[in-house]
Amino acid sequence: MMRSHSIRILFCFLVLGSVTLQGQVSFDAKVSKKRLGLNERLRVDFEMNENGDNFAPPAFTDFQVVSGPQQAVSRSWVNGVQSFSKTYTYFLTPKKKGKLKLGQAEVTIKGEVFKTSPIEIEVTEAVKKPNDPNNVDNIIDGNIHLVAEISKTNPYLNEGITVIYKLYFRNPISVSDVAELESPSYGDFWSHLIKIGRAEINMRGSYKGEPYNEVIWRKAVLYPQKTGKLTLEPLTLNLSLSVPSNRKDLFGRRILTQTQKIITTGKNVIRVKELPESNKPDDFSGAVGQFDFNVILDKDALKASESFQAKIKVNGKGNLKLFKLPSISVPNTLEVYEPEHNEKVNITLSGMQGSIEDNYTIVPQYQGKYPIPPVQFSYFDPKSATYKTLTSQDLIVDVFDGPTAGASRNEVNFSERKQIIETTDNTFRFIKLDTKLSPIHEEAFWMSSRFWILLITPLLLLLTGYLIKLFVLEKTEDVTTRKQRRAQQLAKKYLSSARKVFNDQALFYEALERALHNYLKAKLKIETTELSKSKIERLLVEKNVNKETALDYVAVIENCEMARYAPGSSVNIKEDFEKASKLIATIDRQL
């Protein structure tokens, strides 16, 4: 009896111990080996069981980083219990022999800082047979790289920079497919993506002085809108690779194996400098670049009843879309209308280039010679780090043939003269005094031609309008409107399809997710399946949808994904269906 009681107590301790261990946060460093040759490679994994921020690797003073960090995240649900793992991987080569120390890495998890334990690595003489060159991980890590090439990492505020994302790989690796898992968002920048069309392989690329195949994946032009330390989010790609294995076919050739590899650029930091306050002109409006400035009149002589155009034009290279042009000042006797703004800006890897202009229509009221005062335009030149001010030339408009200032417009400038008209006896003889009248025969209205015309004309008009609507208007209906209507009907169809499969979790959430994406496709005319959830949220907010509603909409999409890929997770099908229906109705009203 005592033995049974002790077994129960021991069992309770084991259960409590497992629960306690399960709830603990762990952050560990693991190495592929603790003893290696000088010419061998060391793999280091920093692994955590909770998602952390502000990861900081050790200094790697005695090692050279061959590749990394490579980030991998995994989630799994077993019997309703979730497990999480996030790993940062580095591949290192030692710089010298002896007992080397791998320092501490640290990360912030739930507001608390965690550090790994230092690891001692023994490095011996170079070995004849280093790390297995046929190992798939070794082959991949040394022969494929994803980088973000930034033209300038310390620009001024509103100074343009370019970011080119490049994928480098070389034999024996070949890339069969690429999918973008994480797209960088440029929240603190004015951004423009340059279309590059289909990605092409440059067989003569170079990475760190060595020949590589090069693929340009994305090009972006950025203008920082804030100062200080700005972070560029990483670009993450999922690669399908073909790598030679240890096996050979009948002809002695290596058999290729297919493998997946997630590779990322990591975060990049841009340090944006403030524009200098010293010597800043009072009329400076934020123009940064190299510009020319001019004020142009389309005519300098005209009548008072005519109008002329005054054009304020800036052309050159810089943030042309991000500042205002100075306004024109003219005498009060010239009537000035609101300007018409025109832009001819081309955005390339060099930034914005072209011209912007404001066209003023001006109407003189009186004759005279009117001076157009000079207009000043100031900008900051980042190359010379100085402010520059350009001034237009003096202009004069000559207005002639009109009223003079101070004279009433009702005054007449010519004298009236009386003219004596002589009459003769024959002046009014053309008027006939005798008339010849004939009787009028009044025609009855009933069943007359006027009766039938007034009766049939409205019927013909109605019939004509119906035929025009049937055969002309409906056939010329906008194609986009038809597509939008079909997409809305398709979203309703998927909602009804989801209702029919309440008992099948996977089918239900697949149908519900399709309905949510097709609804946005119909309303916003975009392909949402190509966007991340953060971009979907931003698009909804830009369309004046309440931010809380947009977040709820994205949350339902996330629930669909979690339920589809984690069947063991706890979900409420009926609640998710009702929430999706209410969100669609709410967004419809707000849009």
Element containing residue 261 per DSSP (H, E)? strand 254-264
More confident residue, 245 or 463: 463
- According to DSSP, residue 544 is labeled T
Highest-confidence range of 132-141, 370-379, 476-485, by mean pLDDT? 370-379
The listed CATH number (1.20.950, 1.20.120, 1.20.1300, 1.10.3470) that belongs to domain 479-590: 1.20.120
End-to-end CA distance of the chain: 73
CA dihedral 232, 238, 241, 243 (to 10 degrees): 70
Residues of the chain with CATH 1.20.120: 479-590
- Residues 6+ away with beta carbon under 8 Å from 558: 533
By C-alpha distance, which of 106, 104, 105, 100 is closest to 120? 100
Residue 94 amino acid letter: P
CA angle centred on 261, ends 259 and 263, rounded to 5°: 165
Rounded to an integer, the average pLDDT of 562-583 is: 74
pLDDT in tens, 227-272: 999 999 999 988 888 887 767 666 666 677 888 888 888 889 999 9
Q: What is the CA radius of gyration of the chain?
A: 39
The residue among 503 and 263 whose pLDDT is bigger is: 263
Task: Write out the DSSP string of 263-290.
Answer: EE---EEEEEBPPP-TT--TT--S-BEE
Q: Nearest-CA neighbor of 541 among 563, 525, 524?
A: 524
Exposure string for 326-339, b = 16+ CB within 10 A, e = fewer = bebebeeebebeeb
Comma-separated ranges of CATH 2.60.40.740 domains in the chain: 24-131, 289-400
Domain 24-131 annotated CATH 3.40.50.300: no
On whether the CB atoms of residues 218 and 178 are closer than 8 A, the answer is no
**178 Cβ neighbours under 8 A, 6+ residues apart:** 167, 199, 217, 237, 238, 239, 240
How confident is residue 80, by pLDDT bands cut at 50, 70 and 90?
A: low
Q: Residue 63: which H helix or E strand, with range?
A: strand 63-78
Which H or E element spans position 542? helix 533-542
Per cent of the chain over pLDDT 90 is 30
Banded pLDDT at 478 (limits 50, 70, 90):
low
From the options 1.10.3210, 3.30.310, 3.40.50, 2.60.40, give the CATH code of 138-272.
2.60.40
Task: Report the pLDDT value the prediction gives residue 5, as an integer from 0 to 100.
Answer: 54
CB 116 within 8 A of CB 104: yes
Each residue of 161-179: pLDDT tens digit? Answer: 999 999 999 887 888 888 8
Query: Residue 382's Cα: distance from chain center in Å?
Result: 26
pLDDT at 318 over 90: yes
416: confidence class by pLDDT, cuts 50, 70, 90: very low
How would you class 484 by CB atoms within 10 Å of its CB: exposed for 0-12, middle for 13-18, buried for 19 or more? Answer: middle
- Alpha carbons 510 and 140: distance in angstroms, whole number: 35
87 — pLDDT class (breaks 50, 70, 90): confident
Query: Which pLDDT value is given to residue 19?
Result: 43
Cis before residue 184, ω within 30 degrees of 0? no
- Match domain 289-400 to its CATH number in 1.10.10.10, 3.10.20.30, 2.60.40.740, 3.90.180.10: 2.60.40.740
Instruction: Please give the structure tokens belonging to residue 83.
Output: 């497990």
Model confidence over 1-41: pLDDT tens digits?
445 555 555 555 544 444 444 458 888 898 888 888 877 88
Dihedral sign computed on CA atoms, order 190, 194, 199, 203: negative
